[in-house]
Amino acid sequence: MVDYCDELHYLAAVNSPNTTGTSCELSGTQHIGFFERYLSVWVALCLVAGIWLGSLLPGLFRTLAGVEYGSVNFIVAVLIWFMVYPMMVAVDFSSLKRVHERPRGLIITLTVNWLIKPFTMAGLGVLFFHYFFADLIDPGDASQYIAGLILLGAAPCTAMVFVWSQLTRGDATYTLVQVALNDVIMIFAFAPIVALLLGVTDLEVPWATLLLSVGLYVLIPLVAGVVTRLRLSSTARTAAESELAIARFIARVKPVSVLGLLATVVLLFGFQGQVILEQPFLIALIAVPLLIQSYGIFAVAYGAAYLWRVPFNVAAPCALIGTSNFFELAVAVAIGLFGLNSGAALVTVVGVLVEVPVMLSLVAFANRTRAWFPESVSGDVRRGERSARPAPEEAG
């Protein structure tokens, strides 16, 4: 859920050849939107509301659960589309032509996102729910919680990374490129990785449902986002007008996206209310491996960027995208695979609850350690151009 007014600064930074600063320098301020800053609060309130409504109106929630065909609950599908579609409109896939400009940052983030993060998340899930918490949780529920963690670990962030990048004055072009590239990879890699890890952890792999979920919640919104961008750009006379039209459109649909997220949380906790009331510490138990994963993955990516001497305005967003999760996709797939009242769906929503305070703490840490990294001369200056530029004392 990006602050889409700030997204306009990203788009301007990427598309203007005369831009020498980051998006934060363009706007003159660093800030996170009101909704994003208090996302954990809104989720917590919806958690309470969902539990209360589930106890008060159990018949209504049973009816809502029955509005489905096959493995797809139509109400949830609409809510997820409301959440995901604005994000896909915000992603400019034409930025992929600049994929060669920041190779070190991309190598780090792709390695972490697709070769490390899913497997460490699955490992932590097995370690905690099959061993450390074995006496506290039913074995059948434990497998569900592991599945939810796997889904979160296999889905790198698509939207909130723009906010985290801005708060660290990240390179606007690089941030767009890494999001676009990860989205393309997600279409092909998400389902096989999830299937592999579910199989390794002795969970049944419903391939048809998994592929259907990727098509419904990644491919279709992605295509719709691309088509929307093209239509909005078709009447613009300049690139600046095009990006302004796109930013205005996203700002208009943002409230629907926010309502989709909050309604989904209420719905899920309406089904999970009885389980949570019987095990009040369950959310805290689920949060433990999520916290370890978040801080651990950030340490790996940020440490690799430090050792490889990646400029700070690339190092910060390349580490933060792997730490954050595409929780909207994880929620949708968990519901499709295991059901609205499943433990897997519960874990993905707890991921939303945990993510924002964790990410804000990492943003603060990154900003305090900016001096550890070389500073890029300009967001649009490439390595070769930078090495050829004379030092300031030589330029006179």
pLDDT digits (tens, 9 = 90+) for 108-124: 999 999 999 999 999 99
Per-residue pLDDT at 40: 72
pLDDT digits (tens, 9 = 90+) for 361-395: 999 999 999 999 997 644 444 444 344 344 443 33
Beta bridge partners of 156: 325
Per-residue pLDDT at 102: 75
- Say which range, 144-148, 254-258, 384-388, has the weakest mean pLDDT: 384-388
- Helices (runs of H) and strands (runs of E) counted in the chain: 19, 2
pLDDT digits (tens, 9 = 90+) for 223-246: 998 899 889 888 888 888 888 888
Beta bridge partners of 72: 69
Q: Which are the contacts of 54, defined by CB distance < 8 A and separation ≥ 6? A: 61, 269, 270, 271, 272, 273, 274
Q: What is the distance between the alpha carbons of residues 8 and 254, in angstroms, rounded to a whole number?
A: 14
Per-residue pLDDT at 389: 41
Per-residue pLDDT at 271: 78
Q: Which H helix or E strand runs over 370?
A: none
Q: What is the distance between the alpha carbons of residues 74 and 66, in angstroms, rounded to a whole number?
A: 9
Cβ atoms 188, 222 nearer than 8 A: no
- 258 or 315, which is more confident: 315
pLDDT digits (tens, 9 = 90+) for 45-89: 888 898 899 888 888 888 887 787 766 778 878 888 887 888 788
Cβ atoms 333, 219 nearer than 8 A: no
Nearest 5°: phi and psi at 268? Answer: -65, -45
Nearest CA among 282, 288, 279 for reference residue 124: 288
- 172 or 186, which is more confident: 186
Terminal Cα-to-Cα distance of the chain (whole angstroms):
47
| Mean pLDDT for the chain overall | 80
Beta bridge partners of 68: 73
Q: What is the distance between the alpha carbons of residues 301 and 306, in angstroms, rounded to a whole number?
A: 9
pLDDT digits (tens, 9 = 90+) for 10-55: 444 444 433 333 333 333 344 556 766 677 788 788 888 988 998 8
Q: What is the distance between the alpha carbons of residues 368 and 386, in angstroms, rounded to a whole number?
A: 25
SS3 call for 73: strand
Per-residue pLDDT at 176: 81
pLDDT digits (tens, 9 = 90+) for 185-219: 988 999 999 999 988 877 777 777 788 888 888 88
Q: Using the 8-state DSSP alphabet, how is residue 16 labeled? A: -
**Residues across the chain:** 396
Residue 167 structure tokens:
């708060």
Q: Which H helix or E strand runs over 353?
A: helix 343-368
The domain ranges of the chain are: 4-371
For the structural domain made of 4-371, what CATH number should be given?
1.20.1530.20
Q: What is the distance between the alpha carbons of residues 196 and 193, in angstroms, rounded to a whole number?
A: 5
Q: What is the distance between the alpha carbons of residues 10 and 22, in angstroms, rounded to a whole number?
A: 8
